[in-house]
Structure 1
Amino acid sequence: MALTGVLRPGHAQLRVLNLEEGVHHYRDVLGMVETGRDEQGRVYLKCWDERDHNSLVLREADRAGIDFVGFKVLDKATLDKLEGDLRAYGLATERIPAGELLATGERVRFRLPSGHDIELYAEKQAVGNGLQVLNPAPWTKASENGIAPVRLDHCLLYGPNIAEVQKIFCDVLGFYLVERVLTPDGAGNVAIWLSCSHKVHDIAFVEHPEPGKLHHLSFLLESWEEVLRAADIMAMNNVQVDIGPTRHGVTRGCTIYAWDPSGNRFETFMGGYQPYPDYEPTTWTFDGLGAGGGLDYPQRKLHESFLSVVT
């Protein structure tokens, strides 16, 4: 599919209770690369194979959770057009000047009915992945540090009115629905997986009464063996695991869910299939999420912590 409009997830700003504990977790255990610190005290990190300056920003706060999620768009003209489209749809937007986020250009921020702040931006400093661009090697020394995911892959957010959220992403931003879980009565969706690419999802939402909640940030690994290695590294570093290693029925991804020291859930993820916008969305009944293996295919059960613990 043509890469136009919204290209990919670009960054997320996460609140942590102790900044240096958070940095140790994401830099030394997960294996991200620290790329800078700003005057506000925020710490910037990227995955080893990402070309842009940062994909994760850590901010110390008195409660854990997510501040905002940013998506990179094709160019400045696309940014201007999408801001106009959002305004025409009835959403208020805010222009954040270049440089407010380190190495990042001007951003357009808007709030979803779910209570989440989403940003669009066109420019971020390219720092490369540590490999030459002519006849490159397949990996760098940074890819041996910690779990070493290759990129920030997606996030799952919890909040109200996801039916309206789906309209905004699909009708305004050009995403498409890949999978969904029906409500118990089958009348609507309790969960949606949305893509702006040919990934099985770039963002997902679950209906939840409290607005603005984070379920998890997901980091991509390249094989099942790397997921199992991630489990070993988590155990050796006393990282508390929620679920896994296992496979989802939804998205067919292989996964471990665990918590950082502040209680923010993160995922190490691989697999899934490659959808296209003309595919019919896959539908799961509410019962199928548990007994049908939607969440945990081998055990075919729901995990209470997975459904209830958010930040």
Structure 2
Amino acid sequence: MNNDLVHLRDPFVVPVYVEKKYYLFGTTDKNIWEGKCTGFDVYVSEDLEIWEGPLSAFRAPNDFWADKNYWAPEVHFYQDKYYMLASFKADGKRRGTQILVSDKPIGPYIPLTDEPITPKEWECLDGTLYIDEEGDPWIVFCHEWAQVNDGEICCMKLTKDLTATISEPMLLFHASDAQWSYHSIMTSISNDKGQYVTDGPFLYKAENGELLMLWSSYTEKEYAIGIARSVSGEIVGPWIHDTEPLKLKDGGHGMLFKTFDGKLILTVHSPNVTPYERPIFIPMKDEGGKLYIDKEGIGGLVNEL
């Protein structure tokens, strides 16, 4: 199938060089907002245009603790295995990011531990893995606006095997710290409470060595991606924000990857309306740590910068 037929939110692409194949993960359950979920699917392509799938990547075992809101899986190759970080929730239990593992990019993925890695009393989502210059792993995640009103992005250091944390949560920034972020336009959120969304952090080491973070929130009109920069070059920051988000038409929750011929690609879902979300692939340029859209995107998503 082509891109227009792939329905998912929160796209995440894993290029596997030995196979010359791209693995596309995302939020794929039909009941993503309400009702019981089943798992995550994966799509496979050689050219980012025609995809095989959907194929089963994760199906919840009978004793799995969560049965709703299976969101935003992303997969990282680390220590010769593939690790999936994804968000889960159950009635009476906080939303959290759990780590799963597989020997193969396609799966099947199984839980690495019995519970989420994020704080038990926090509502958390969209955990991403970051490996620092010393080779130590960190989880970067969102402390959800639904609990704290002004959404946060936090980090914790992990053990080498990713089974536990070895630091307390550290606040990196609030959503409202970014000049472009606006209290949410989502109809389910009351704007007069000053609630600001943080979604989808993703770490990227720029060509000039600068550590960047892509993350999503809302402008006054639509869903968008902003860029934060670590002043210290380390995950703990401090972080400063570009004054304007990338100019995408209602597109967000993005990540960057390189094609097999070295091109830098941003993938996002758009529009941010269920069930119309589709993965979009946008050529990018990295010029001295500044990210630019390389050319017009697919389907009118991209406006000229």
TM-score (norm 2): 0.34
The structure with higher relative contact order (CA 8 Å, sep 6+) is 1
Q: Which is helix-richer, 1 or 2?
A: 1
TM-score (norm 1): 0.33
